[in-house]
Amino acid sequence: MSFVPGLGIAKGMALTLRRFFEPKATIKYPEQRADVAGKFRGRLQLLYDEWGTLKCETCFQCAQACPIECIDMGGIDTRGRYHVHWGPPETYGERREESALRRSGRTVPDPAFRPYEPIDLGEVDRILDEHDYDPAHMLAILEATQEAYGYLPVAALKRISHRTGAWYAIIYGTASYYGHLRFEPPTATDQAAAVDAHRPAESTYIAALGAALEGGGRAGASAGA
Amino acid sequence: MTVVSRGWNRLTLPGKFLFILVPLLIVATAALLILITAFGQLAIDTLAANLPIVRFVVAATVILLITVPTAFLIIYMEMKIIALMNLRIGPDRVGPFGSLLSVVHGLKVLMKEDFTPTGADSVVFTWAPVVVYLASVMTLLVIPFAPGLYGADLNIGLLYFFAVSGLAVVGLLMAGWSSYNKYSLLGGLRAAAQIVSYEIPLTLSVVGLLLLAGTMSLNQLVENQQGWFTDWYIFQQPLGALIFFIAATAEANRTPFDLTEADSEIVAGFATEYSGMRFGFFFFAEYVNVFIVSALFVTLFLGGWNAPFALPAAWQVQLSLDPASFNIGLLFIIALAPVVLTLLFGAPFWLLSSRITWWQALLIGFVLANLFIITLAVAWAYIGLNWVAGILWFMLKTYVLVFTFVWMRGTLPRVRIDQLMGFAWKWLLPASLLNLFVTAAAIVVIGR
């Protein structure tokens, strides 16, 4: 295009004049609310019940429903016994300390993360190989694993998730759904029940304590005795 | 507790005010009436005997008073128009369509601390904004707003205009020097350099027009341009008009030549140390300057208060409406016209749509009747009063130009200082000289 002096100025002026008459982009916020996006599923929020305890049961339904898989959660499950995590196990919470160390140069403790004890993974690998690493056979795999180890160790579940590609949370959900699958060694649960059964009553203990202190104990203790 | 104090205490606060104010008002009105009857004729005679002085005082006062609303209006226009060009809405909270926002800005500036830096030359520091503002306001004195509506019809009006607007440079230098701040001083010198440089092409661009017109009286210049819009000087002096426009942009410190302030880049140059209303004066002077420059351009090149068309005398409507000829009927018209018109304009809405209730129809009728009456009054004033027509055309043209200045500010980027100076000396000055010589040669050849 040939050079015409002032053409650029004229073009620019024409542009701003066109903009002058165009509809405006501003949304007058308090009077006029922006449209809610079609994908919007409501606000994510952790709710507490009337006693102040967290209502979240770590069921992972929200994470499963999330269309862009942005929901992530980690920690121990509601019974305080098991470390759970949504998503591929090798990416998130398990490597959190490592990545924090790399980024900040110092260790960052994660109170929610409880390391699980390592086990011999040979049995799991064998079972997985037998089932062709097929996540559709999850129940069979889990049952075989429980048979091999006596319970479902965390490390074994991680291994299964890693090898089959099934989400850890789905494996956890499957395992926790069936009553015959357990996460702790049967000895531990049996022992706890046995201890509870043979434990002396509280009042007996307090009476013995009061006697040992020769009446110097609590007032209620002597009355109970 | 006496009866008086008990009665006083029972009054509410507005009641206490009214109790004092109402008798005071009655007494003052009575005193005024007595004074008018006693000395009214004397005062009128005295004023009539000294008409030029009265005219000057009134003109100076009015011009000083209209600058502030003008500045408010142009500041509002600037905020709103640039916002609209940026696809924003702009001010919309204070007043209708945010039109009072600039007033709020003015009050804000007024309420801020009026700060003088330690070491500043406080006298010069105080007077600098006054000089700048007065240089702007005084130029308005010679601008003819309408036939017969001007401060003074000087026979050297244009020269006076350039001389007085040149005073602004003094004010800027005073501000820069007295601030006791090297950046202010640099800003003041830079502003002075720019304005002095552009004053030369600005003045030279008009000389060709003066050769054509043969007068420097702005009023006479406007009268020379009477007739159709083709008689305007812009068609005889297009180059001169272009140079004048560009140089005037630089004179008024407007984008793309607003290096003296350059809000987004440097700290307001010469006004760095100013705050409060003293800064406000600089700020207002800038916007008054925009109006003045537009008004001068309109006066010189766009026919001033002349309408762009001249209807043949046969077409012109002659209104000889004497309100007194209605006698007592005038009272009835004044009393009944609003009611009748409201009913008349409201009736169709009530009859045509069953959704509109009677009071909505009345409201619509009232608004329409008011619009009708206002339109009628303006039309009557336009036809019957010469100066109303003149001021309407003058303001229309001036504010179109003001819009152009704001439009340019919304569009053009700022030039560099060397581009600014180079453009003035290498392009505008030769071009204005060329314009002058060509005009002079044409006058000699054609022999006007």
Q: Give residue-wise pLDDT tens across range A119-151.
A: 889 999 999 999 999 889 999 999 999 999 988
**For residue A5, which residues of chain B lie inside 8 Å, CB to CB?**
none
Work out the percent of chain B whose per-residue pLDDT is above 70: 95
pLDDT at B113 over 80: yes
Quote the DSSP letter at residue A118.
Answer: P
Does A224 have pLDDT greater than 50? no
Cα(A161)–Cα(A135) distance, rounded to whole angstroms? Answer: 9
- Are the CB atoms for B149 and B387 separated by under 8 Å? yes
Cα–Cα nearest to B308, from B237, B226, B365, B377: B226
Looking at the complex, does the CB of residue B412 fall below 8 Å from at least one CB of chain A?
yes
Is the CB of B412 less than 8 angstroms away from the CB of A9? yes
User: Band of the pLDDT at B406, cuts 50, 70, 90?
Assistant: very high
Residue of A nearest to B87 (CA): A24
Which residues have a Cβ under 8 Å from the Cβ of A41 and sit 6 or more positions away?
A65, A66, A67
Q: Residues B332-362: pLDDT tens digits?
A: 778 888 888 888 888 888 888 778 888 888 8
Q: Do B85 and A20 touch (CB under 8 A)?
A: yes
Locate the DSSP E strands across B7-144.
Answer: none
Tokens of residue B183, six digits: 């950046």
Contact (CB<8Å) A12/B411: yes
Nearest to A22 among B87, B89, B408 (CB): B87
pLDDT for residue A69:
62
> What's the gap in Å between the CA of A105 and the closest CA on chain B?
41
Which of A17, A22, A28 shows the shortest C-beta gap to B407?
Answer: A17
Q: Is domain A122-185 annotated with CATH 1.10.10.1590?
A: yes
User: Minimal Cα–Cα distance from A22 to chain B, Å?
Assistant: 7
On whether any CB of chain A is under 8 Å from the CB of B336, the answer is no
Closest CA of chain B from A35, distance in Å: 19
DSSP B423: I
Asked if residue B167 has pLDDT above 70, the reply is yes
pLDDT at B38 exceeding the cut of 70: yes
Give the span between the Cα atoms of B1 and A41, in whole angstroms: 73
Tell me where in chain A the CATH 1.10.10.1590 domain(s) lie.
Answer: 122-185
> Which tens digits make up the pLDDT trace of B53-94?
888 888 888 888 889 899 999 999 999 999 999 999 989 888
pLDDT tier for residue A91 given thresholds of 50, 70 and 90: very low
Query: Chain A within 8 Å of B85 (Cβ-Cβ)?
Result: yes
Whether residue A86 has pLDDT greater than 60? no
- Phi, psi for A9 (deg, rounded to 5): -60, -45
Answer whether A20 sits within 8 Å of B81, measured CB to CB.
Answer: yes
Indicate the residue of B81, B89, B410 with minimum beta-carbon distance to A26.
B89
What pLDDT sits at residue A225?
Answer: 41
The predicted pLDDT at position B336 comes to 83
- Tell me what pLDDT residue B275 has: 85
Task: Please answer yes or no on whether B88 and A26 come within 8 Å at the CB atom.
Answer: yes
Give B-chain residues touching A16 at CB under 8 angstroms.
85, 407, 410-411
> Which tens digits make up the pLDDT trace of A173-222?
888 889 889 888 877 667 777 777 777 677 777 788 778 777 655 555 44
Give the pLDDT band of residue B245 (cuts 50, 70, 90).
very high
A111 Cα distance to chain centroid: 13
Q: Looking at A73-82, B118-127, B225-234, B298-307, which range is the least confident one?
A: A73-82
| Cα gap A154→A176, rounded to integer Å | 13
Nearest 10 degrees: Cα torsion B49, B55, B57, B58: 120
Check residue A106 and give its pLDDT. Answer: 63
A20 touches B at CB < 8 Å: yes
Pairing of strands A83-85, A74-76: antiparallel
Residues above pLDDT 90, as percent of chain B: 29
Q: Which residues of A touch B87 (CB under 8 A)?
A: 19, 22, 24-26
Q: What are phi and psi of B177, to 5 degrees?
A: -75, -40
Q: What is the rounded (10 degree) CA torsion for A98, A102, A107, A110?
A: -40
**Location of structure tokens 């229309």:** B396
- Tokens 């030039």 correspond to what residue? B415
**Least trusted range by pLDDT, from A87-96, A115-124, B298-307:** A87-96
Q: CA-CA distances (angstroms) from residue B309 to B213, B225, B229, B285, B286?
A: 20, 11, 6, 34, 33
Is B242 at the interface with chain A, CB within 8 A? no
**Which residues does chain B have within 8 Å of residue A24's beta carbon, measured at their own beta carbons?**
84, 87-89
Sole residue written with tokens 């152009």? B404
Q: What is the dihedral sign for C-alpha B242, B245, B251, B256?
A: negative
> Which pLDDT belongs to residue B191?
86
- Average per-residue pLDDT for chain B: 87
Q: What integer pLDDT is reported at residue A222 of this predicted model?
A: 47
* pLDDT above 50 for A89: no
Closest CA to B435 of B162, B159, B207: B207
Q: What angle do CA B35, B38, B40 make, to 5 degrees?
A: 80
> Which residue in the set B88, B408, B411 is minimally distant from A24, CB to CB?
B88
* Separation of alpha carbons A173 and A63, rounded Å: 13
The closest CB to that of A12, out of B81, B86, B412, belongs to B412
Q: Which residue of B has its CA nearest to A18?
A: B85
Chain B hits for A20, Cβ within 8 Å: 81, 84-85, 407
Provide the pLDDT for residue A130.
Answer: 92
Q: For residues B65 and A218, give the distance between their C-alpha atoms in angstroms, rounded to a whole number.
A: 92
Contact residues, chain B, for A17 at CB < 8 Å: 85, 407
How high is the pLDDT of residue B151?
A: 79
Question: What is the per-residue pLDDT across A145-175, written as a single tens digit (0 to 9) for each?
Answer: 999 998 898 889 888 988 888 888 888 888 8
Average pLDDT over residues B389-397: 90
Contact A19 B86 (CB under 8 A): yes
- Give the pLDDT score at A15: 92
Q: Does A32 touch chain B (CB under 8 A)?
A: no
Quick one: pLDDT at residue B432? 93
Quick check: A17 contacting B, CB < 8 Å?
A: yes
Q: Which of A16, A22, A26 sits opposite B411 (nearest CB)?
A: A16
**How far apart are the C-alpha atoms of B225 and B231, rounded to whole Å?**
5
B357 interfacial to chain A (CB closer than 8 Å):
no
Q: Is A98 a residue whose pLDDT tops 60?
A: no
Q: What is the mean pLDDT of residues B104-111?
A: 90
- In the chain, the amino acid numbered A142 is L
